[in-house]
Structure 1
């Protein structure tokens, strides 16, 4: 039976001037705040519990309090237009708001949010951010320094290492509800006074936003009274900062004022959350440093065993250390608890704070070394817990679809904040009976690529090892709140993962202006098994190819199609329609090779990469493309003196690797390129291109090194220094064994003996030699 209002004299009723309404100020993640609030609610027995939060989300409170929900969770509000702006309202089991929802659900009381609706809040946030961006950055930084400095000064006056330690000792450990309410309200009022003038001067948009919110909350309180709830049976749960502003002595927002508020269309959903994101270490401003520790704090409070917190905490640390192979005795745990209690008594505290426990654990369990217990601290202080929302609890269509797909593909076990590796074999598994099981990894790959395309950060593809097969994929999977947010935002693109991914492909095609991007979109559509989008992208590429004459772009587009055609069968869809497009691109690329090679050394790097791509296409698809045309164009490039020498040398190297030259042809070309009188830019630059490919072909031709030696010896001092720049680049990629082979050949050429020459060339450089090499880094190439 509800207790009569007359028995309220046992509690200090603060700011109850709002017609007798009870205002309960809280910190958003406060175990003691939650415990005191429950006690207050049990005493008051309100018929209405009003909570700071978006008022258009009140219909979700019953779901938040429903059976099967496991905090931490979060309420997410997001705009219906792209780019998406969002507001997040995280809740832990020890959040006073969450406990208020449970109490109201259990006792049958009305429970509603009373803060600005999300549409108004997000619209005002946008205006606030715009105005803040226009203000002087130094002014804003000055306010932030001033604001943070107040908290630092409070901790200093209390002889605490930081503000969090101060808060825990003086508020979380305050077991008297009346004293707690008095202290938290007085503290918040004073802090509000200290920051008001500075905030108004340097961050006025924040002040205006707070004023609007509080006027709206006063309006909602009055509306609740008008709906028939007695003021004395209404409890308002709000951040302590707002308590002094919610009394009836200040005006509520009028209808006219509400009509003038900006509005952005929004949607609301619930999502699982994690302790790490709940912590202030992740950047969440209303968080605390140790959410898992405060969960342990809450459990001890709930069991009326707060005095057991130190030994539970220290025992948990020791257990984690033992699991990791670092044994700590029971005596060490006892000593740790005693030291923490001694540290607390020195500060006049009733029991240790987290900081006291941490310091004691470093000494008694870590031997004075933080690194020994750092991992254990992370697990016990922050934790790896992730919330749970059962089926039927409000989620967006994409969230529901994603959860179904994870279950279907047996990936739901990876729905954890701890990163895990996943290796996929895309080939058919012939040892199983059903088709779904036979292509399980392939279907997993499709989903992971779709999530990657949508920006849903669940999976990150890892580079394959050099010897790994082309049918393999390696991924790292990790579930984070950002994963859930990405899924929510994707609802704006479609109602399923597949539809949303197809929408993204379509969007990209609308802004696609070059053949490289079009080819990449085709490949992405293939990886995501979006065949309709793939056809659309193919038509776009065909259109763009007609007017494209950019050699590097043509080569890259052809390379993308080549990879897709080569491995299309693994992904179980027909890529034969891409072959004519590949042929067209290859033909245009081959015919433009000579013009592209007419460039300087800066541009040569990208052209060289494009040559490698086209040559790879010629090798992989020799039956489909005109390989003989490609070889003719390479021979023409290799023989020309009016093209970039490095590219001519690289063309020569490809032909040399293909055994397209006779020994006599090789000797004539080397002699022509490295003859005395040829400048270093041409001769050494040509050799740099040759050295990029097939080292065995170079090392097996002693005559080439003899010709290079003669050529270098013929250069004057200036040309010699110029040649060193090219040669240094050329030899930088040689392996040690290859450099040793060159030393042996040069030793024979110079008549100094291979061993002596090798020792001489591989000895440590002198300081003078190092200085001369450093000079090459700043060498002036003039107009080259």
Structure 2
């Protein structure tokens, strides 16, 4: 298939390693020498129409060709290209010289129609000699050549022989003939294929047959003056003499699908992954530096390193850089390397700039060796309508995609931040997790949101998949929410969907979701399901108020659901085993929080009538007082002997925290639970429910400050029979191990000193020698802090008056 002239073989077969800067420089030099009439590149032929976009100013690598099945966008494949990829260099050279470009690999229409064995085009790109993954049984040619040369590390051999070519201090290329390296590499690959056979990935024969057919077609169109840029492994197959009939026979009957192709941004971090991308490289940032540095790559690299370390407040001077350069070059000389590689540079950084620690090296690896670079593509690149709407929204909201993970704080009282929140929630509903909610720092208000943002290249596929729901993010999220509401089978699914609809501001979907919610709630009789659904429903009511959404219907459903939980909870408790009791305890806590929030929503603070009278407008009457009804349920649970001790103890604790127990009520219930007639295991469960750290984390502090409860607990514990003590010890250990170290130490001191009383009644005066205890409540001193407390908590006048009433 190839002839030879004085300038070299025709066509010129330029075997490369994908994402190799040495290969990229050699390809550029070879193209300058050959000046071909056309350039053929390993890639999907469907991308031929996208070639002109690579010359646009808005195109900045790393980028990738994306092909996906139009009817099933989830079946997709990427062909990533970095600035230092030989294919990208060849593509840009051809565009600058107005030379036609053709992609010659097996069409994506066939590749994506074949059964997916994790051998998609991403994996197939391991054909250049990169370490193959588990689906590729072909030998690793780079490892084989490195072993022949006496190297135990194939990456180090490749760097020394290929990547460091042309990176001499003066920047001069050492080869007089730019085609010589490709001839040598082709000869080596031919020897490997002869020794080990052509066996490799099962698609290699198909791909090579199609490449030969495309090469023949190009020779008819442009003549023999061609340059072919492909993985080095394929060069012997392309040079092999075969017949057109034989190649067509191999491709006969292949499945075919209708595909769409486009350019999408890529990242250096994604290039560095070996899982899911067989031709991934370990150090894209370093390779990019080797490719772009005009001269003295070691000195320039260590200067970059010094700049990054100074930004992180490391004391790095010019003297450190000079000394690190000398050490790296000395190590390369001792190790017989033509140029200091990453191993030598890392050793020099650790020794000179890091004082022997690995901290600087880890930082440099993330920032420079890999790097967080996100490419860009032109606005007029082909895209589904949903992607175009998303791009417009990102610009309007000034929310630019970035490869580096960053935290975004939102104040929902601001229009722009509220719009950002709606967009991110709608994308999550569509299965496009650009942002993930995170815990807010410094504020627990419902008008605050915190997000962790990171744009991954694979999200482009998610956007294409979501395009079936609509042409805009809003309409697509609405359509998906209504469909999921109809298809949902559990109450928890529908309540979570209702929460998402309010967060994403989808008023058109909410009525459908509410109907489904009412239907599921009416049919579900499992109190566990009802209790699990209630918190999300109540949160949705709060979110609706914060975002200005009418949540009246949702509030009514939440109230009805709470009442059903009140009725069904007591009958569900008797007869539970330990695991069932533990699960129900979680539902008890969640319902308690939900009732408190729902009561706040039902009784919003009223503005004062005037500063003189201090009178307030009475809240609207409620058909049922949720707090009072919930307190009755807790009392029932706390006093019923058939209820497991864990649940009785937790109900007692919740009543105590709410101030719903009469004086001595907690001591009475604790005395009954720890009476001699109670089985020790049940009593230990009661203690775990009562004194275990809940959401407030103050279970231990309760015992520290209430010596009567501590005395009851101590008296019971000392009276547990020896035979039963071993059984209750794990429960007690689990309870007390959750306390802070200081709390456990204080409890130990109080137990050693001995409690002051074990009988119900007014609390005795605490021991004045005990740190943190006083002789009693000083109401004047307590009232003095109320104004400051009001400011810290952000309460209005009503909250201040309530605090005053409590203090008085």
Give the TM-score normalised by the residue count of structure 2.
0.79
Q: Which deviates more, 689-698 or 284-293? A: 689-698
- Cα–Cα, structure 1 residues 746 and 539, in superposed 2: closer, same or farther, change >3 Å? farther
Q: After the TM superposition, which residues 273-672 of structure 1 pair with which residues of structure 2 at under 5 Å, given as runs? A: 273-280=266-273, 284-300=277-293, 305-306=294-295, 308-344=296-332, 351-366=339-354, 369-412=357-400, 415-427=401-413, 438-465=414-441, 468-598=444-574, 599-622=576-599, 623=602, 626-627=625-626, 628-663=628-663, 669-672=669-672
- Cα–Cα, structure 1 residues 63 and 707, in superposed 2: closer, same or farther, change >3 Å? closer
User: Equivalents in 2 of 1:36, 1:444: separation in Å?
Assistant: 46
User: Equivalents in 1 of 2:650, 2:495: separation in Å?
Assistant: 26
User: Equivalents in 2 of 1:716, 1:377: separation in Å?
Assistant: 60
Give the TM-score normalised by the residue count of structure 1.
0.82
User: Equivalents in 2 of 1:409, 1:574: separation in Å?
Assistant: 25
Selected match of 1:718 from 716, 723, 726 = 723
Compute the displacement of 1:322 (Å).
3.6
Q: After the TM superposition, which residues 123-138 of structure 1 pair with which residues of structure 2 at under 5 Å, given as runs? A: 123-124=113-114, 126=116
- Cα–Cα, structure 1 residues 728 and 112, in superposed 2: closer, same or farther, change >3 Å? same
- Cα–Cα, structure 1 residues 251 and 687, in superposed 2: closer, same or farther, change >3 Å? same
User: Equivalents in 1 of 2:377, 2:371: separation in Å?
Assistant: 19
Contact 2:372/2:403 (8 A) holds in 1: yes
Structure 1 residues not aligned, in runs of 5+:
14-19, 131-139, 201-205, 428-437, 760-784
User: Equivalents in 1 of 2:78, 2:228: separation in Å?
Assistant: 21
Q: Which deviates more, 184-193 or 402-411? A: 184-193
Selected match of 2:154 from 150, 157, 163 = 163
Compute the displacement of 1:208 (Å).
2.9
Aligned position for 1:185:
186
User: Equivalents in 1 of 2:432, 2:108: separation in Å?
Assistant: 23
Compute the displacement of 1:446 (Å).
1.0
The alignment status of 1:58 with 2:48, answered yes or no, reads: yes
Q: Which deviates more, 503-512 or 456-465? A: 503-512
Selected match of 2:243 from 236, 248, 251 = 251
Contact 1:699/1:742 (8 A) holds in 2: no
Contact 1:657/1:697 (8 A) holds in 2: no
The alignment status of 1:119 with 2:120, answered yes or no, reads: no
RMSD: 3.6
User: Equivalents in 1 of 2:377, 2:274: separation in Å?
Assistant: 25
Compute the displacement of 1:85 (Å).
2.7
Query: Aligned to 2:444, what secondary structure does the other structure show?
Result: coil
User: Equivalents in 2 of 1:143, 1:586: separation in Å?
Assistant: 53
Contact 1:446/1:528 (8 A) holds in 2: yes
User: Equivalents in 2 of 1:661, 1:600: separation in Å?
Assistant: 28
Q: Which deviates more, 702-711 or 615-624? A: 702-711
* Higher relative helix content: 1
Query: Aligned to 1:180, what secondary structure does the other structure show?
Result: helix
Aligned position for 2:776:
none
Compute the displacement of 1:738 (Å).
7.4
Contact 1:72/1:386 (8 A) holds in 2: yes
Paired positions, count: 711
Query: Aligned to 1:41, what secondary structure does the other structure show?
Result: helix
User: Equivalents in 2 of 1:179, 1:81: separation in Å?
Assistant: 47
Compute the displacement of 1:550 (Å).
1.4
- Cα–Cα, structure 1 residues 730 and 758, in superposed 2: closer, same or farther, change >3 Å? farther
Aligned position for 1:84:
74
User: Equivalents in 1 of 2:278, 2:566: separation in Å?
Assistant: 58
Contact 1:587/1:626 (8 A) holds in 2: no
The alignment status of 1:10 with 2:7, answered yes or no, reads: yes
Contact 2:406/2:454 (8 A) holds in 1: yes
Give CA-to-partner distance per residue, 1:627-683, whole Å, 9 cap, x none.
Answer: 243333322222211121221222233334444443476565444333323221333
User: Equivalents in 2 of 1:454, 1:409: separation in Å?
Assistant: 19
Structure 2 residues not aligned, in runs of 5+:
121-131, 166-173, 603-621, 759-765, 772-808
Contact 1:681/1:722 (8 A) holds in 2: yes
Give CA-to-partner distance per residue, 1:112-168, whole Å, 9 cap, x none.
Answer: 1111111211223515759xxxxxxxxx999979935x6446435545462222112
Compute the displacement of 1:37 (Å).
2.6
Contact 1:124/1:209 (8 A) holds in 2: no
